[in-house]
Structure 1
Amino acid sequence: MARFELKLPKMGESVAEATITNWLKQVGDKIEMDEAVLEIATDKVDSEVPSEVSGILIEQLFNKDDLVQVGQTIAIIETEGGDVVVAKQEATPIAVADVAKTVETAKESVSAPANFSDSDKFFSPLVKNIAKEEGVSVAELESISGSGKDGRITKEDLLNYIKNRGNQPAVAPIAIGTAPVVATQNVAPVAQKAAPVSVNGGDEIVEMDRMRKLISGYMVASVQTSAHVQSFIEVDVTNIVKWRNKVKDAFEKREGEKLTFTPIMMEAVAKALKDFPGMNISVDGDYIIKKKNINLGMAAALPNGNLIVPVIKNADQLNLVGMAKAVNDLGNRAKAGKLKPDDTQGGTYTVTNVGTFGSVFGTPIINQPQVGILALGAIRKVPAVIETPEGDFIGIRQKMFLSHSYDHRVVDGALGGSFVKRVADYLEAFDVNRDF
């Protein structure tokens, strides 16, 4: 018999660790090749870890809710053979060159690994990895004043702290049974406790799942970070509706993909972002980052009803067929819970289709650190004034609303309004004679 080491696989360039949320197989269970052994979660998506071999699970090296680094062995599977088999593992993309340099100069005497679950603060995987390598305690991390959104500690904050560590005020260790005392001048104000909620006998209390807690935190942080302003515009999409009805069967027959309205809308948004690069930016403190690539996020529903935003990379370089394939692929994998962490990274602007649920328009919350999000309303038949050389008359047209939320810290009304108007112009000028 051989022992196969099942490792936490590489999940993307930006992911260094994951939390075990559920063991699907227990010790003694038989496992087939490619069968899921456990479920894991990053700060973006949930996924499964399949086995690379067939055999019997003989050891679980971590428990549920444990945090595991990419490349660590998480289970042992007994297979036919004679030697220990180690899963192939690519180098873990934990940090860029300057972080690697810092890690190389780490002190040899490192204290026991810090248990970051003891802290109420959020620390990114990158920050936690650097802290572990440098022997920075949880108490020290909590004492650092973060420059990121919502006061979070960035890589630069931690590296600056490590660089000037000898000049930092000492952080007293926390003794059991005593109140923690941190020697620092940057003390965050104590948050007000929420008012107690009255619960009656017939009410049901249900704890938020992990994803809903994350979404809740992101939404509150976005509203607190950005000055949200909205612009609304009504669009005549009659030509688009007629064209899609005419070609959708031929499109599906030729491409093997359904043609929805979403890729058509995404195509117009990508064009408008090229015209108005001031909307394709992000904000980092007092700095504006102008994005080179146009990566469109699209809000999609997960099997549990939560929402996630997978990203279409380089959307401006796709034709309509490519856009349709990308939209369908990400949407289908979101519904099946098969998205990978990298599928949700790198977005520069987001589109959400509130019309799916019958909403005419909405006021979506910005997906930080982006500066804009566009909501697509429901397409409706409405009476409209039609102007012709012979005069005006009333006719039935297919119309929808575009709702644009943007960050008024860096996007003024002229830019925010002009951008959504350009999207509308592209949609109304849609060529009914075009090929797909």
Structure 2
Amino acid sequence: MARFELKLPKMGESVAEATITSWLKEVGDTIELDEAIVEIATDKVDSEVPSEVEGTLIEILYQKDDIVAVGETIAIIETEATGAIAVEAKPTVETSKEVKEVEKSIEKAADIVSAPISKTSESGKFYSPLVRNIAQTEGVSMQELETISGSGKDGRVTKEDILTYIEQKVKSPQIVATPAAVLKTETPKQVEKIVAKVAPVSINGEDEIIEMSRMGKLVAKHMVNSVMTSAHVQSFIEIDVTNIVKWRDKVKDGFFKREGEKLTYTPILMQAVATTIKKYPLINISIDGDHIIKKKNINLGMAAALPDGNLIVPVIKNADQLNLVGMTKAVNDLATRARNNTLKPDDIQGGTYTVTNVGGFGSIMGTPIINQPQVAILALGAIRKVPAVIETPEGDFIGIRQKMFVSHSYDHRVVNGALGGMFISTLKEILEAWDLNQDF
């Protein structure tokens, strides 16, 4: 018999740890080759970790909600082979589950209204990443952490210590403050609790109570904190895409025959967006405190629908370097793998600007919320036939044109109305100048 060490696998160069969310097997269970053993949540997506060996699960080293570093042994499997072997399993990504990147965004947003939790306090106390994450999420300030008596080595505050403190804090009476006082003195987590006390929801016997999914909760917090973080402003413009519609209808069959890919409007529009960003690089930035980070690469996030109705944002890396064929292949590949739940963690990170197609749901326009830490997001409305005034040398007349609205949401802290408006005005010029006679 041999003991195999199942290690937490690598899941992308920027992923250093994961949280155990659920064990799919118990000690004593028989394990088949490639059978999923445990579910984990990384900084980007959730994964199932399968086994690369057959045997019996004899030991589980980490429990649910524990945070584990990449490369750490998480379980022991006994096999018929001889010798001890350490196995690094390969995760099967299930992107239909919650994207944990939003948790980092939530922590960043909370920093605006509460002091940051550093590794070491002024008194010299050390706080682990897990304790700091719990404190930031639950609205526990550094000053409060200093008052907690630690039961760990050298008096360190452990996970159990801070959870016990939070539980006691919730049970203790709270003074309901006025809205003005709440905004000035409370963290987002505390505000949420106070509002719940002030305005309880009325439920009668015929109402159905549905628990929000974990992803739904995270997305809700991400959206609220994005609004709290960024000063959202929108600009709108209507674009005549008649030439694009005619050109696509003319070449789509030949495109599919030559490239083996369906040509939709998305890659055409994404290519135009990438070209526009090159002209306005100050839209391709993020904010870090009082500093602006100007991104070198143009990585376009593309909101895609998942089978369960949720959305995920895979990223087209270096989008400005792709021609139409390359863009089409990238768009189709990411969309297909999103539907099939086979995206990798690296596929959904590193975005610098996001595009969402609200027209796919029949909307003519929308006001999207910025995907932090980016500073802008573009919403594409539905393409529709409308009557329009057409100017000619012989005079004006009414004709049928294919048009769409584009909505641009941007962070007014760093993007003023001129830049936000010129961006979509230039996008309009690029799309309306589409050459009907060009090849693909």
TM-score range (shorter-chain normalised) is 0.7 to 0.9
Is 1:136 aligned with 2:127?
yes
Deviation for aligned residue 1:74: 1.9
Aligned length: 381
Matches within 5 A, 1:257-276: 257-276=261-280
Moved more, 199-208 or 63-72: 63-72
CA distance in 1, matches of 2:388, 2:134: 61
C-alpha distance after superposition, 1:340-373 (max 9, x if no partner): 2222221111100000100000000011111110
Aligned equivalent of 1:99: none
Q: 2:195 pairs with 190, 193, 196, which one?
A: 193
Match of 2:292 among 278, 288, 291: 288
Structure 1 vs Structure 2 CA RMSD: 3.4
Mapped to 2, the partners of 1:77 and 1:128 lie a distance apart of: 39
2-side partners of 1:409 and 1:340: how far apart? 33
Calculate percent identity across the aligned residue pairs.
68
So what's the TM-score if we normalise by structure 1?
Answer: 0.78
Structure 2 CA distance for aligned equivalents of residues 173 and 46 of structure 1: 33
Partners of 1:311 and 1:55 lie apart in 2 by 38
Tell me whether 313-322 or 73-82 shows the greater mean CA deviation: 73-82
- Deviates most, 27-36 or 351-360: 27-36
Match of 1:77 in 2: 77
Task: Give the 3-state SS of the residue equivalent to 1:62 in structure 2.
Answer: coil
Mapping 1:363-378, distance limit 5 Å: 363-378=367-382
The answer to whether residue 173 in structure 2 is matched with residue 173 in structure 1 is no
Q: Which moved more, 1:413-422 or 1:250-259?
A: 250-259
Partner residue in 1 for 2:355:
351
- Which residue identity is paired with 2:59? E
Structure 1 segments unaligned to the other structure (5+ residues): 91-120, 154-160, 162-167, 181-185
- 1:31 CA displacement: 4.0
Change (3 A) 1:40 1:293: same
Q: Which residue of 1 aligns with 2:214?
A: 210
| Structure 2: unaligned runs, 5 residues or longer | 91-105, 110-115, 151-160, 170-183
Q: Is the 8 A contact 2:261 2:329 kept in 1?
A: yes
Label 1:51 to 1:399 Cα distance change in 2 as closer, same or farther (>3 A): same
CA contact (8 A) 2:383 2:402 kept: yes
Deviates more, 1:292-301 or 1:54-63: 54-63
CA distance in 2, matches of 1:140, 1:66: 12
Bigger shift: 375-384 or 80-89?
Answer: 80-89
Structure 1 residue 78: Cα displacement: 3.1
TM-score computed with the length of structure 2 as normaliser:
0.77
Contact 1:139 1:171 in 2 (8 A): no
Determine if contact 2:285/2:292 at 8 Å carries over to the other structure. yes
What does the per-residue CA deviation read over 1:270-324, in whole Å, with 9 as the maximum and x for residues that have no partner?
0000000111111112111111111111111223222221211111011111111
- The match for 1:409 is 413
Say if 1:56 and 1:294 are closer, same or farther in 2 by CA, change over 3 A. Answer: same
Match of 2:48 in 1: 48
Whole-Å separation in 2 of the counterparts to 1:316 and 1:72: 39
Q: Does 1:425 align with 2:429?
A: yes
Number of the residue aligned with 1:165: none
Distance 1:21 1:139, change over 3 A: closer
Q: 1:169/1:240 Cα in 2 relative to 1: closer, same or farther (>3 Å)?
A: closer
TM superposition shift of 1:69 = 2.0
Equivalent residue number for residue 225 of structure 1: 229
One-letter amino acid of the structure 1 residue matched with residue 212 of structure 2: M
Letter in 2 for 1:42: T
Shift of 1:219: 0.5
Runs (4+) of structure 1 exceeding 6 A deviation are 127-131, 149-153, 175-180
